Chain A
Amino acid sequence: MRVSERDMLASRPLDKYTPEETIAELVDAVGRSPERRDLLVQMLPERISLYEGRSANATIRMRGYILAAFEQTGLPEAALPYVFEELENGRDAYLVAGAAKALRGLDTPTSRVVPFLFKAVENIRYVDDALTFERYKPRWPITNYTTALTEIFRTFGWLGAQAKSALPDLEALREERRDEFSRPIRAEIEYAIDRIRSDGRVAHACCSALPANPGLAVHSLQKEHCKGASISDIELEDQGGNTLTYETFFSRKPSIVVFFYTRCDNPNKCSLTVTKLAKLQKAIGEEQLEGLLRTAAITYDPEYDLPPRLKAYGENRGVTFSDDNRMFRARTEFRGLQEHFQLGVNFTGSTVNRHRIELFVLDSRGEIAVTFTRLQWDIQEVLNQAKALLSHGQGVG
């Protein structure tokens, strides 16, 4: 290893002041020293200082480049939630392409990734783009570019026998939906089908090392969320302009709380989260749990998301408002909420530049009991977690 490269890989703080080019050099250096790949994983949480003050496009550039590097370094388990998150929800071709490449860094192919790849095809087929990972911040024209769909179908091919379950759907794409793809993409689909068919190995879904639901975490202890100042006194303003403290709302009953912001431009994230919250409210009613559970949606963008914006956003997505069901902005100390919930969000100025999907089930003291992060949460699964709190006697404060 060259000396400068050793310096590059030596642990040193990466923060908002680190030039993007330095980060790209570090990623390249890890590519040549795969045993240091954990460094790349450490650069993925949205909340770290590295992403502070950068534009949304800068965070996309950095994260996409990091994800793509896992193809070369090998993909550790700790990076999987980030990869799945992009495939399931991503609408940016560069990030989705990076995630698809990352999967080719898995030690062994597994059929468990197939549904994520199909979801990515549907997410990206109207917004695919020409891109390259050969250089960071490339200058155009670029002749040998790739695209997100290209990388997704190459990963299907790489899975070989492990993607046998995908064959009927891939064949349907090739035959019934061929008009939806360009000639080069159709050739990639064809090549993937050939590789899967010709792979003589036997597919074993049971041998996969992937966790069952990488987005779910049940918190038996709250210690990591209890550091920092108390959030009890943080002032929240609801969609009607009523002000109350965190403690007033999030106590005496378990609550389900999601985070969002109205200016989010990924329809798979905030808009879908709030739409699903409305459906969750209906499910609560159907199970006759009204009055026993609370729901809340808190904005990441409290200075912009004033009460009329919160109200309109919720109403347009079917949210029902009542004393127990509200949308909030923090009037004071949003940072306190950020710390308490360890929110996966970062900002440029006061504008969100990147965030994950996050839902928390809180007990009747307002403490986090369960988190669902990154991947789409299932309404019934969330409701079951909240019901478990009620049945364990944490429903009455």
Chain B
Amino acid sequence: MDISEDRKQFAEQLERAAEEQREGYRVFSDKSKPVHERLMGLKRAAALTDEDEVTEAVDIIRDREDDADLRATTLLYIAIEVSQNRDLIDLAIGLLRDSTEPAVVRLAALRVLQTSSFRAATFNPKRPEYLAALRTVIDEPNASLRQQALEILAQAKDEYAQRRLLEGLEDSSKALVPPEKAVQLLGYDVHAEHYPILRDMVQNPPSPEAKREAVRLLASDPTSKDLLADILKDKDERREVRNASASALQSLAPIEFEEQAKQIVLDDNEYDDLRATAMNALTLFADQEALSQDTELTRRVERLKDASPSRAVTRTADRFLRKQRKQRNRTIDPQSE
């Protein structure tokens, strides 16, 4: 078979694509063109990796007279170059820190820096400067910028971010983010002093979402075992909160949870999703040998498998019963596995 024709066609395609990119770049760099055309040109140019292209892109990013969206998009297009060049990291940190820059440019700088932070060899020496800039940004009026900076700091278990989040939970006038977001961010660190606040939030929730989030995070606080058990038992409680407490209790106190899970499976007045969660936990984590002795439980699960209108319940019931059968076979014939 003669492949020279295919090769020729492929080379032509490549050349057309390259020309398309060059044309895109020409439009992007032509300041006389309207912004929307330059943005389209940038998209056609695909990536700016050539040294001259990067230099020109940096000029556009630095040019405060130029359109903010264009500057931000240009910055995103040289993200790979930024991650390999400490001077460009400096530029991005400067943009992030500068409160006179438009939010869209600062958000782009944040995104590029966060991507760059994974290239440890180049980025690590810049880490202190980056963290200092993020700590400044958490007081910005722009909610998106503030929240993203807080998210990055909270994941790093940052002392200052935690301090400010706790301040906001204690005094809502100082809050940087809504309470449910604040507890979620504090939850990145099991060593933060947020458990008393979480317990208080469960008793006096500022919003239903905050309560669910607080219950979810109490999964790493052994002193909240009883509180979680009470929530799980409370049929007046919202089902997503009870579901969250089931997961939390299962992680924290599997033996105590097992008993409650059985009761939930046996109770025909329980929510389907909660019964499915309980059966799933029993299937995955409970002592199967002990469970196989509970004939009443097995009988009820068989009934659920055949009669429940909920697909989640029938599916988890089926899984539960299959595991039980396997357990019985193993008991009869220990070599069966």
Whether chain B is bound by chain A comes out as yes
Q: Decide yes or no whether B196 CB sits under 8 A from chain A.
A: yes
Q: Select B191's contact among A93, A130, A353, beta carbons within 8 Å.
A: A353
Are B128's CB and A348's CB within 8 A?
A: no
User: Which residues of chain B have C-beta atoms less than 8 A from A137's C-beta?
Assistant: 163
User: Which residues of chain A have C-beta atoms less than 8 A from B125's C-beta?
Assistant: 180-182, 185
Q: Decide yes or no whether B132 CB sits under 8 A from chain A.
A: yes
Q: Decide yes or no whether A243 CB sits under 8 A from chain B.
A: no
Q: Contacts A349-B223, A351-B221: A129 and B128 contacting too (C-beta < 8 A)?
A: yes
Q: Contacts A56-B191, A137-B163, A265-B191: A128 and B128 contacting too (C-beta < 8 A)?
A: yes
Q: Contacts A57-B191, A263-B190, A265-B191: A125 and B124 contacting too (C-beta < 8 A)?
A: yes
- Count chain B CB atoms within 10 A of each CB in A55, A126, A353 and give the residue with the most: A55
Instruction: Encode A117-159 as 1/0 by CB contact (under 8 A) with B.
Output: 0000000011111100000010011100101000000000000
User: Which residues of chain A have C-beta atoms less than 8 A from B136's C-beta?
Assistant: 140-141
Q: Tell me the complex Cα distance, A353–B193, Å.
A: 9
Are B132's CB and A140's CB within 8 A?
A: yes
- Segment of B154-162, B231-239, B303-311, B322-330 engaged in the interface with chain A: B154-162
Are B192's CB and A55's CB within 8 A?
A: yes
Q: Contacts A126-B120, A304-B252: A142 and B132 contacting too (C-beta < 8 A)?
A: yes
Are A60's CB and B135's CB within 8 A?
A: no
Q: Select A130's contact among B86, B132, B223, B225, beta carbons within 8 Å.
A: B132
Instruction: Encode B124-151 as 1/0 by CB contact (under 8 A) with A.
Output: 1111110110011011000000000000
User: Which residues of chain B have C-beta atoms less than 8 A from A57's C-beta?
Assistant: 157, 159, 162-163, 189, 191-193
Q: Decide yes or no whether A350 CB sits under 8 A from chain B.
A: yes
User: Which residues of chain A have C-beta atoms less than 8 A from B194's C-beta?
Assistant: 55
Q: Tell me the complex Cα distance, A58–B166, Å.
A: 12
Q: Tell me the complex Cα distance, A179–B120, Å.
A: 11
Chain B interfacial residues counted at CB < 8 A: 36
- Count chain A CB atoms within 10 A of each CB in B157, B160, B195 and give the residue with the most: B160
Q: Contacts A137-B163, A304-B220: A179 and B192 contacting too (C-beta < 8 A)?
A: no
Are B221's CB and A126's CB within 8 A?
A: no
Count, A-B residue pairs, CB within 8 A: 94
In the complex formed, the residue of A with least CB distance to B225 is A303
- Count chain B CB atoms within 10 A of each CB in A57, A142, A185, A263 and give the residue with the most: A57
B256 nearest CB across to chain A (Å): 11
Instruction: Encode A301-314 as 1/0 by CB contact (under 8 A) with B.
Output: 10110100000000
Are A348's CB and B191's CB within 8 A?
A: yes
Q: Select A56's contact among B126, B139, B160, B192, beta carbons within 8 Å.
A: B192
Chain A interfacial residues counted at CB < 8 A: 39
Are B131's CB and A129's CB within 8 A?
A: yes
Are A128's CB and B135's CB within 8 A?
A: no
Q: Decide yes or no whether B205 CB sits under 8 A from chain A.
A: no
Q: Tell me the complex Cα distance, A166–B221, Å.
A: 46
Q: Decide yes or no whether B1 CB sits under 8 A from chain A.
A: no
Q: Decide yes or no whether A54 CB sits under 8 A from chain B.
A: yes
In the complex formed, the residue of A with least CB distance to B130 is A130
Are B157's CB and A145's CB within 8 A?
A: no
Q: Contacts A55-B192, A57-B163, A61-B159: A141 and B220 contacting too (C-beta < 8 A)?
A: no
User: Which residues of chain B have C-beta atoms less than 8 A from A383's C-beta?
Assistant: none
A18 nearest CB across to chain B (Å): 15
User: Which residues of chain B have C-beta atoms less than 8 A from A70's C-beta?
Assistant: none
A16 nearest CB across to chain B (Å): 12
Are A56's CB and B128's CB within 8 A?
A: no
Q: Tell me the complex Cα distance, A140–B157, Å.
A: 16
Q: Decide yes or no whether A250 CB sits under 8 A from chain B.
A: no
User: Which residues of chain A have C-beta atoms less than 8 A from B208's C-beta?
Assistant: none
Show the binding face of A for B, using Cβ within 8 Å: 53-58, 60-61, 93-94, 125-130, 137, 140-142, 145, 147, 179-182, 185, 263, 265, 301, 303-304, 306, 348-353
- Between-chain CB contacts (< 8 Å), 16 pairs: A53-B193, A55-B192, A56-B192, A128-B128, A129-B127, A129-B131, A141-B97, A141-B135, A180-B121, A265-B157, A303-B223, A303-B225, A349-B196, A349-B221, A351-B195, A352-B191
Contacts A55-B192, A351-B221 given; 7 further ones with Cβ under 8 A? A55-B162, A57-B163, A57-B193, A127-B127, A128-B128, A140-B138, A180-B125
